[in-house]
Structure 1
Amino acid sequence: MTLVLQAGETITRETFWRIGPVGKALFYFLAFLAIAILLYGVYDRFAGYLRGTDDAVARLDDLPERVASAVKIVLSNEKQFNRDLYGGLMHAFIMWGFLTLLIGTTILMIDMDGYQLVTGLLGESQSFFIGDFYLSYSLVMDALGLLFVVGLGMAIYRRYGVRNERLWDRHTSLEDGAFVWTLFLLGVGGYLVEGVRILATGFPDFETVSFVGWFVALVFQGAGISQELATTVYPAAWWSHSLLALGFVAAVPYAKPFHMLSSFANVVTRDEKSGVRLPGVPADEDPDEIGFTEVEDMSWKQMLDQDACTKCGRCSSVCPAKASGRPLDPRNVILDLKNYRESVDAGGETKEIVADGGASVIDSRTMESCMSCMACMDACPVDIEHVPQFTEMNRRLTEMGEMDDNVQETMMDVFQQGNSFGEPERKRPDWVEELDFDVPDARDGPVEYLWYVGDYPSYDERNRRIARSVATIFEHAGVDYGILYEDEQNDGNDVRRVGEEGLYEMLAEDNAAAFEDCEFETLVCTDPHSYNTFKNEYPELEGVEWNSDGEIDVHHYTQVVQELADAGALDLSGTALDYTVTYHDPCHLGRMNDEFEAPRELVRRTGASLHEMPRNRSNSFCCGGGGGGLWMDFDEEPKPSEERLREALEDTDAGNEIEKFVVACPMCMTMYEDGRKTGDFEDRIEIVGLSELLAEALEADTTAGVVETGADAAPADD
């Protein structure tokens, strides 16, 4: 191979310049050893997942499409950019730079150990690492390598300079810093070696294309380092860089760098509907083994989830339970499970995974704190599925009889009366009595819309106004609808999420039977929680044959009302109300089911001025009522509902001018009415259901229409 250029010589460089044949042989031996350690470690890590149980969801179907989708997600860094421009740029620079350096090293290996070897066997050894290819290669490697170093500098500044809070917690360890610093030293070290080589070889003109290395060489020269000294120290610099690189390669499966592989595998095997619908419990499952009882109960995907965690803390930073002081940090739960699994694998002591008290891996109060809002899963850049693992632990607590006392009492009410209030079934339709029109009974004949009213709109006095306003809208639009009256049961969505799978299945069977006894085209729900479970969970529940083919449309009432408005069935002028309002996205409607626009469009049609809160749409902040939170008492400071109302009044563009806080979920209504009282917001803002706002706008438009008609008629009468 040509040594470094002189004028008129081949444009290239010698890879093993001044290393010698013994050094070259030693390097190849160490490289082979590092790669062997890497491959064995990767095999051992992934083979360990085979100890896990089968996952309840098909994870490897349509694998080519899954891989292609994962490649798009990873290369675009779209999840890293989500709500964090700095973090997105930082990760993109690091990842694209790392991949470029990896590809560049691979190209060099192909030339040296493939192309040159083959051409040598066929005649004269040749290299494609020359001329324009070499110049292009050097330019790209220097440019993307610089991005790599800049990205790592950003990471170091975020971790140690501003000391970003979410990066530091009890699971933060030496390996986290070592990972970043090793990559940084590899990136900077590569330029240092390049600069020493350019100086030692007399600054060949063509090497200006390696603009970073050229700059480093000029700095060395300016610092008084001679060409002879550079030539002398080059082998030491080269070996220092090479040994660090080979050590990093060998360490990948055994430390934090493994996330580069496990994270990609996790994205490939993700379940798009995870958390939106939960896996059921097999019919033949032993009650004593439901949920996590030991490491062997974890599925291979749950183990992969745990290994994919990069400790970035994005899940923790958006968790409403953590923000309110509840004893839950999603990251720590996942990492606690991982550490315990690794401890057991290493022969450590076994203990209860979840229980009431400090002797278990996870304390019961931690799991009871989860609101099942899925903010953690939405924020996770590597698609870790927290909520299903949390639900497994809640199921375990239920089977052990360690459920929260208030929740246990509510579950008994649901079991005995079919509702979470413990009220007689016959009182469920009492809310219709104050209406001046009859609400049709869907059991008496075919209807277009079967309206599932839900527990809170049926029994809670404040939410009964929501039910009446929805009925008023339907009546105004001339909708062909009906309700189930006393045959309606609790939907079971939150019953399932607190771990009562058996009760959930019973409710699903009863409701499905009631639905099947009616003839209708669309099921419409007042509550997003009902909407979610009817749409996503009932069709997949084993033993419940309802809507498995998706022949029945399931809608939230806001979607139906928007369709009615678009069709002209509702005479909303868009000028009836002049309130200044903000809108809260319910977790089960927005983040879980991607319905963001229908409620906003309806608010605008009333004439109200809508101002967005900073945390909106998929980034909405939970009211605190999900996952059974509505039925529990926590010492919270502040309550999620109080924090959300503060945000509405202080962080929106309109600030204190916000008059009404609009909700589209009965549970949200209950939580925010409570937060309005406890947070001392009673004189500052009103909580109003979207259906109430619409009903008021319809009444205002109707009244305005009557007045206008009378005014127009007056001259003719005269």
Structure 2
Amino acid sequence: MYLQAAGQATHSDIPWEITVPLGIIGALLSIPAWVVFIRGVVHIVNTIRLGQPALPRTNNPGARLANLIKEFLGHTKMAKKPGVAIAHWFVMIGFILGSLVWFEAYIQTFNPEGGWPIISDWAIYHFVDEILGLGTVLGITALIIIRQRIGDKEKKARFYGSNAGAAYFVEAVVLLEGLGMVLVKAGKIATFAKYDGGHVATDFFTMQLAKILPESPLLVSVFALVKLLSGMVWLFIVGQNIKWGVAWHRFMAFFNIFLKRNSDGRNALGEAKPLTSGGRKLTMENADPEEDTIGAGKIEDFTWKGWMDFTSCTECGRCQEQCPAWNTAKPLSPKLLITNLRDHAIDSAPYLQATRANADRGQGMFTQHEGGDTALLDDPAMEAHADLPLLQLVGAGEMGVIDPDVLWSCTNCGACVEQCPVDIEHIDHIVDMRRYQVLVESEFPTELGGLFKNMETKGNPWGQNNNKRSEWIEKAKADGIEVPVFGEDVENFDDTEYLFWVGCAGVYDDNAVKTTRAVAELLYTAGVKFAVLGEGEGCTGDSARRAGNEFLFQMMAEQNIEILDNTFEGVPPKQRKIVVTCAHCFNALRNEYPEMGGNYDVVHHTQLLNKLIREGRLEPVAAPQSGRQVTYHDPCFLGRHNKVFEAPRELIQASGADLHEMPRNRNTGFCCGAGGARMWMEENIGERINLNRTDEALATGAEAIAIGCPFCKTMMTDGVNNRQADIEDKKDRTQVLDISQMFRESILVDGKLPAPKSPEFLAPPERGWVDEEKLAREEAERKAEEEAKKKAEAEKKRKAEEAAKKKAEKEQAAAAGGAAAGAATGAASAPKAPSAPGAPAAPSAPGAPKAPAAPSAPGAPAAGKAPAAPGAPSAPKAPSAPGAPGAPKAPGAPAAPGAPAAGKAPAAPGAPSAPKAPAAPGAPKAPGAPAAPGAPAAGKAPAASGAPKAPSAPGAPAAPGAPKAPGAPAAPAAPKAPAAPKAEETPKDDAAAPVAEAPKDGGPIKLSSTAPGAPGAPGAPGAPVAAPAAAAPAAPKAEPSDSSAEEEAAKAPEAPAAPSAPKAPAAPKAEEAPKDDAAATQSEQPAAEAPKNGGPIKLGAMTPGAPGAPSAPSAPAAAAPAAPASEPAEAERPAEAEQVQQAEPTEDTSDAEAPESAESIESEAPAEEAPSQEESSQETPASPAATTDGGAIKLSQIVPGAPGAPGAPGK
């Protein structure tokens, strides 16, 4: 039954048996919808959290909240399109407040008469319900119509590329929601008597609609169920499609607006986002390429705010509609850039989450299993794609998310940021991607390579010399215009108010030099106290930063800040006034330098000139500009980035010109195409941006185009010349002038500048200011340096004390080891025969008898240590025997080089050497035989072929005998030393012996580390020297002795040489060496390399395990007596020492101890005249066993356990 005016139903008329099941159905169906939606919310939150930490975004929360309310309720970003703004406002408010009405459907499905307790009966609630319902229906209908009219097929349409399906789905659900709100209210008025037909003030529309609806409680429940379920369908679908920004922006926009970069509500324009990593700013000083994220090279390199930007995009296309690149057929669309990054981020999120989860468990994204590399992901679809190549963030073709042409088409004009209703920061993301391409990948347009080089080497993009910055100044002064140069005409800023920052274009671009000259003349005429830096000025680095070369920008900015701070010394920051003509310099000095510590009061020249007009210091007169049709192009970095719109226009009007605005002006002004470092790049794709803007300017019919930036002037001049190329006379073409040039013409009197006003300050100056913060900072730095210096000194002292303590502990350990070795059993004592003066003796092995040495002629050189017999442990050392002092050398014989001490030799092939052992104490030394008088000092001599061979240990070749030296009695050959029994296996982990140091500048040969237990057998004069005694058995491993202990072990008592020496007794079999000791020698060593250039023979790395071959006598130096035994010996420097294989020492044979041992041995040797290299090379024949070209055998290694090779006496 239909009612005429108002319903008559009551609570009792409700069909509960139907409405209750409807309510249950609605509640049950809403559960999965809420689950899916909440899961989508969690997904988005976790996805955003994958971004890098960002700089603080919650500072000044009060201002942020106020800005959010202003943008939300005022729709300030949407207001640029008023019709759309009004429709969207109702839809937005309907969504926010209508949610309250929507949730009421849970009640109304069960009880069609019901509603929220208390408030549902309020008149204001009825009014809000009426407005929201009606506004939502009308608003969304208008938006649907607008979308249809604009379309998404044409490339220039702002909806081109947007997800139309998602948009229409969202709009349809919103329409259903609005209709549900209206129909439920109208149905209740038509059904229930309590509403009394509605009230005109609160139900003005629904009460009319109620007249055509039946009285039906069930119908009200059905309307409520439709309202409820339509919303649930929206939640269910949207929760599964987090890429649908057109839906999710309803939630994300609030957070994105609140967390925008600038807490004061300014757009993310002006300064570029600082380069950050891990939430901290990166500079050249603190950046670590191994640890820090430089720019954005991967999707996870963006900050969490970047990820929030991606998920907040509404796909409205306002940015795309205003973008100069997109409007000139370039591939860059700010909208598509963000949506592509969003899609890539969401697709990558599961992989990144798995990677981080595995990293927390110590694994990577993939872990090694028995079956190979397996993706640690649960999603089968993701596992199926795990082997596909990864997309590059910036790359050409299908393998790149963002094409390089897209990235480098951006002019940084800021139109996208200005238009975005949810405050997405497009430029920040573009600059970050450029930073990675430049600083990490070195992938950028080729033209930028020249730009960077010019800025680095010449300090300006033009690559011109700095002295050209003075040319315009000299010309101005020649014309009577005073242009004070700081540092030349002005020494300090006490009597100066403005610094005129000319910029690079203002001196290197001929067209821009006219602007510079015009501004200087106007400042001079107005009596402004200004100065310029001249050649002290440098590029601000704007182009470098916008191109992604952040560190080059920082370098140039730091240089400029240092110069400016010195210039403004004593001037408070608010009075550090700089006037500039370049919009890019203006933006850099004003917005970007403060983050690096450069705080200045920067004004554009149009602003200062306007001020001078208002104060009467510049007075326009009737001029050719009167009535002239002029249009003005807003430079992006002056207008949109810094909101300087009025001053240039006021100055144009003050000049008497008639301003005709272009359709795209002020905040919607179109770029000239030079920003974002595009000034230095060729434009090869689509239409040239400057031509598009020139066409718009020429379409106004203006006679001149006014400009406020030298970059814009260059681009617009080029555009005019291109479009009016058919006009031969350039004077007849449309002029492109800076506003200062136009205004200068308006003040001319009879074609000349008026008389300048007396210079004076425009504002009372403050000088003598002291930067307390700088002083405090410098004081803190000074204290930090002092503290660091103290810590370094303390650390150095601690290390020195630790080193001394270690040395003392080693000395104690060496002494303890020597005492322990003396108690070793099985050591047969043998008398220790004296050796030639200065022959270093190696410490003897425990238990091994010391072999007596054969008598040596006076002056015989020290015998080195010879390698051990195969498998035999080290033999004990022999004491030194003094040479006869004052024995003259044979007359007429050329000087021969002294015989070098034999070095340690490695063990024979296949025979492991015993580990190093300390000298065995208690072995009695054999008394030395009397020295043979009159024997000259022995030098190096070749082995004599006719002398009897000395017996050698197994595996070692016998050394050939040496001929007797004339004029000296030959001593009988030393008896053969019995062979030592075979040593047990040497542990493999012992270190090899260190190499003996090569002698320098004719100095004595140094033995780096002597082998314990190796006896030094002295050579007999004029006869071949007997083979050394076999190696003594090695003692158990003991701590190594330090240099002082080795010196004591190396010293031997001096005794006169004996005509013969007894044989050294055989050494007993060595006990098994401990397995954890390192091998003293390598199992195999190459033969000694042949010397070059005829140099003296050097004792090199001998065959492992073989006894050292005795050195043959050499011719003595003429008329040179031997030095006393107390003086240190001086051996010749080996000629062209050949490098031999070196065994690696262990901790037991440290490098620090070896030189000390060598020095102590060296100090024991008597001095000997070192023959020259020429003499040795000419008169010393080669040893057939060791050399091929007469060179000296090197002392490279001294192997523990090798007996010393006896030295041969001189003639």
Please give the alpha-carbon distance, in whole angstroms, between the structure 2 residues aligned to 1:250 and 1:356.
Answer: 37
Alignment of 1:583-594 (within 5 A): 583-594=632-643
The 1:510/1:309 distance shift into structure 2, 3 A limit, reads: same
Please give the alpha-carbon distance, in whole angstroms, between the structure 1 residues aligned to 2:567 and 2:220.
Answer: 84
For the pair 1:379 / 2:419, whether they are aligned, the reply is: yes
Partner of 1:271: 261
Following TM superposition, by how much is the alpha carbon of 1:704 offset from its aligned partner in structure 2, in angstroms?
A: 10
Query: 1:81 corresponds to which letter in structure 2?
Result: A
Helix, strand or coil at the partner of 2:706: strand
Following TM superposition, by how much is the alpha carbon of 1:97 offset from its aligned partner in structure 2, in angstroms?
A: 2.4
Partner of 1:88: 85
Please give the alpha-carbon distance, in whole angstroms, between the structure 2 residues aligned to 1:112 and 1:156.
Answer: 30
Alignment counterpart, residue 606 of structure 2, candidates 533, 536, 558: 558
Alignment of 1:262-301 (within 5 A): 262-272=252-262, 274-281=268-275, 282-283=282-283, 284-287=286-289, 289-301=293-305
Following TM superposition, by how much is the alpha carbon of 1:86 offset from its aligned partner in structure 2, in angstroms?
A: 1.8
Partner of 1:709: none
The 1:169/1:161 distance shift into structure 2, 3 A limit, reads: closer
For the pair 1:150 / 2:147, whether they are aligned, the reply is: no
Alignment counterpart, residue 533 of structure 1, candidates 588, 594, 609: 588
Moved more, 298-307 or 158-167: 158-167
Alignment check: 8 A CA contact 1:576 1:701 kept = no
The 1:236/1:127 distance shift into structure 2, 3 A limit, reads: closer
Query: 1:261 corresponds to which letter in structure 2?
Result: F
Following TM superposition, by how much is the alpha carbon of 1:394 offset from its aligned partner in structure 2, in angstroms?
A: 0.8
For the pair 1:67 / 2:65, whether they are aligned, the reply is: yes
Please give the alpha-carbon distance, in whole angstroms, between the structure 2 residues aligned to 1:17 and 1:198.
Answer: 19
Please give the alpha-carbon distance, in whole angstroms, between the structure 2 residues aligned to 1:110 and 1:690.
Answer: 68
Following TM superposition, by how much is the alpha carbon of 1:232 offset from its aligned partner in structure 2, in angstroms?
A: 6.3
The 1:695/1:705 distance shift into structure 2, 3 A limit, reads: closer
Alignment check: 8 A CA contact 2:320 2:333 kept = yes
Partner of 1:406: 447
Please give the alpha-carbon distance, in whole angstroms, between the structure 2 residues aligned to 1:286 and 1:300.
Answer: 21
Alignment of 1:212-251 (within 5 A): 212-219=205-212, 235-251=221-237
Alignment counterpart, residue 388 of structure 1, candidates 428, 432, 435: 428
Alignment check: 8 A CA contact 1:660 1:686 kept = yes
Helix, strand or coil at the partner of 1:451: strand
Helix, strand or coil at the partner of 1:206: coil
Alignment of 1:44-123 (within 5 A): 44-55=43-54, 57-82=55-80, 84-105=81-102
Please give the alpha-carbon distance, in whole angstroms, between the structure 1 residues aligned to 2:584 and 2:13.
Answer: 66
The 1:518/1:27 distance shift into structure 2, 3 A limit, reads: same
Helix, strand or coil at the partner of 2:663: coil
The 1:197/1:31 distance shift into structure 2, 3 A limit, reads: same
Following TM superposition, by how much is the alpha carbon of 1:512 offset from its aligned partner in structure 2, in angstroms?
A: 1.3
Query: 2:584 corresponds to which letter in structure 1?
Result: H
Alignment check: 8 A CA contact 1:305 1:385 kept = yes
For the pair 1:665 / 2:714, whether they are aligned, the reply is: no
The 1:329/1:32 distance shift into structure 2, 3 A limit, reads: same
Partner of 2:665: 616
Q: Deviation digits for residues 118-172 of structure 1, max 9, x if unmatched?
A: xxxxxxx9942565x1x54333312331111111111111112442663432342
Query: 1:68 corresponds to which letter in structure 2?
Result: A
Moved more, 348-357 or 587-596: 348-357
Following TM superposition, by how much is the alpha carbon of 1:200 offset from its aligned partner in structure 2, in angstroms?
A: 5.5
The 1:641/1:554 distance shift into structure 2, 3 A limit, reads: same
Partner of 2:313: 309
Please give the alpha-carbon distance, in whole angstroms, between the structure 2 residues aligned to 1:17 and 1:569.
Answer: 87
Please give the alpha-carbon distance, in whole angstroms, between the structure 2 residues aligned to 1:422 and 1:66.
Answer: 45
Following TM superposition, by how much is the alpha carbon of 1:237 offset from its aligned partner in structure 2, in angstroms?
A: 4.3
Following TM superposition, by how much is the alpha carbon of 1:443 offset from its aligned partner in structure 2, in angstroms?
A: 2.3
Please give the alpha-carbon distance, in whole angstroms, between the structure 1 residues aligned to 2:63 and 2:103.
Answer: 26
Helix, strand or coil at the partner of 1:517: helix
Following TM superposition, by how much is the alpha carbon of 1:47 offset from its aligned partner in structure 2, in angstroms?
A: 3.4
Moved more, 658-667 or 13-22: 13-22
Q: Deviation digits for residues 479-524 of structure 1, max 9, x if unmatched?
A: 2211111221111112100101111111111211221231363112
Please give the alpha-carbon distance, in whole angstroms, between the structure 1 residues aligned to 2:447 and 2:14.
Answer: 71
Alignment counterpart, residue 207 of structure 1, candidates 179, 198, 205: 198
Alignment check: 8 A CA contact 2:525 2:754 kept = no
Partner of 1:443: 487
Query: 2:598 corresponds to which letter in structure 1?
Result: W
Query: 2:231 corresponds to which letter in structure 1?
Result: A
Query: 1:307 corresponds to which letter in structure 2?
Result: T
The 1:607/1:15 distance shift into structure 2, 3 A limit, reads: farther
Q: Deviation digits for residues 80-129 of structure 1, max 9, x if unmatched?
A: 112x112111211211222332233467889999xx99xxxxxxx99425
Partner of 2:408: 368
For the pair 1:677 / 2:721, whether they are aligned, the reply is: yes
Query: 2:323 corresponds to which letter in structure 1?
Result: C
Query: 1:245 corresponds to which letter in structure 2?
Result: G
Alignment counterpart, residue 487 of structure 1, candidates 521, 527, 536: 536
Please give the alpha-carbon distance, in whole angstroms, between the structure 2 residues aligned to 1:647 and 1:15.
Answer: 68
Alignment of 1:283-362 (within 5 A): 283=283, 284-287=286-289, 289-346=293-350, 347=382, 350-356=390-396, 358-362=398-402
The 1:325/1:98 distance shift into structure 2, 3 A limit, reads: same
Following TM superposition, by how much is the alpha carbon of 1:414 offset from its aligned partner in structure 2, in angstroms?
A: 1.1
Higher helix share: 1
Helix, strand or coil at the partner of 2:587: helix
Alignment check: 8 A CA contact 2:482 2:524 kept = no
Alignment counterpart, residue 456 of structure 2, candidates 404, 415, 426: 415
Query: 1:331 corresponds to which letter in structure 2?
Result: K
Following TM superposition, by how much is the alpha carbon of 1:404 offset from its aligned partner in structure 2, in angstroms?
A: 0.7
Please give the alpha-carbon distance, in whole angstroms, between the structure 2 residues aligned to 1:19 and 1:112.
Answer: 10
Alignment check: 8 A CA contact 1:357 1:364 kept = no
Helix, strand or coil at the partner of 1:290: coil
The 1:17/1:434 distance shift into structure 2, 3 A limit, reads: farther
Runs of 4+ in 1 over 6 A off after TM superposition: 5-10, 12-18, 107-113
- Over alpha carbons, which structure has the higher Rg? 2
Q: Which has the higher contact order (CA 8 A, sep 6+)?
A: 1
Alignment check: 8 A CA contact 1:355 1:402 kept = no
Alignment check: 8 A CA contact 2:634 2:666 kept = yes
Please give the alpha-carbon distance, in whole angstroms, between the structure 1 residues aligned to 2:565 and 2:713.
Answer: 30
Following TM superposition, by how much is the alpha carbon of 1:20 offset from its aligned partner in structure 2, in angstroms?
A: 3.1
Alignment check: 8 A CA contact 2:140 2:174 kept = yes
Query: 1:248 corresponds to which letter in structure 2?
Result: W
The 1:162/1:600 distance shift into structure 2, 3 A limit, reads: closer
Structure 1 unaligned segments of length 5 or more: list them.
118-124, 221-225, 707-718
The 1:510/1:26 distance shift into structure 2, 3 A limit, reads: same
Partner of 2:565: 516
Alignment counterpart, residue 431 of structure 1, candidates 472, 476, 491: 472
The 1:180/1:478 distance shift into structure 2, 3 A limit, reads: same
Partner of 1:397: 437
Following TM superposition, by how much is the alpha carbon of 1:641 offset from its aligned partner in structure 2, in angstroms?
A: 2.1
Alignment check: 8 A CA contact 2:324 2:670 kept = yes
Following TM superposition, by how much is the alpha carbon of 1:242 offset from its aligned partner in structure 2, in angstroms?
A: 2.0
TM-score scaled by length of structure 2:
0.52
Helix, strand or coil at the partner of 1:328: coil
Alignment check: 8 A CA contact 1:93 1:151 kept = yes
Q: Deviation digits for residues 433-488 of structure 1, max 9, x if unmatched?
A: 43213421112322321111111111111111111111111111122211111221
Following TM superposition, by how much is the alpha carbon of 1:675 offset from its aligned partner in structure 2, in angstroms?
A: 0.7
Please give the alpha-carbon distance, in whole angstroms, between the structure 1 residues aligned to 2:196 and 2:418.
Answer: 52
The 1:465/1:607 distance shift into structure 2, 3 A limit, reads: same
Query: 2:610 corresponds to which letter in structure 1?
Result: Q
The size of the alignment, in residue pairs, is 669
Structure 2 unaligned segments of length 5 or more: list them.
276-281, 351-381, 756-1211
TM-score scaled by length of structure 1:
0.86
Query: 1:340 corresponds to which letter in structure 2?
Result: H
Alignment of 1:499-514 (within 5 A): 499-514=548-563
Please give the alpha-carbon distance, in whole angstroms, between the structure 2 residues aligned to 1:384 and 1:13.
Answer: 55
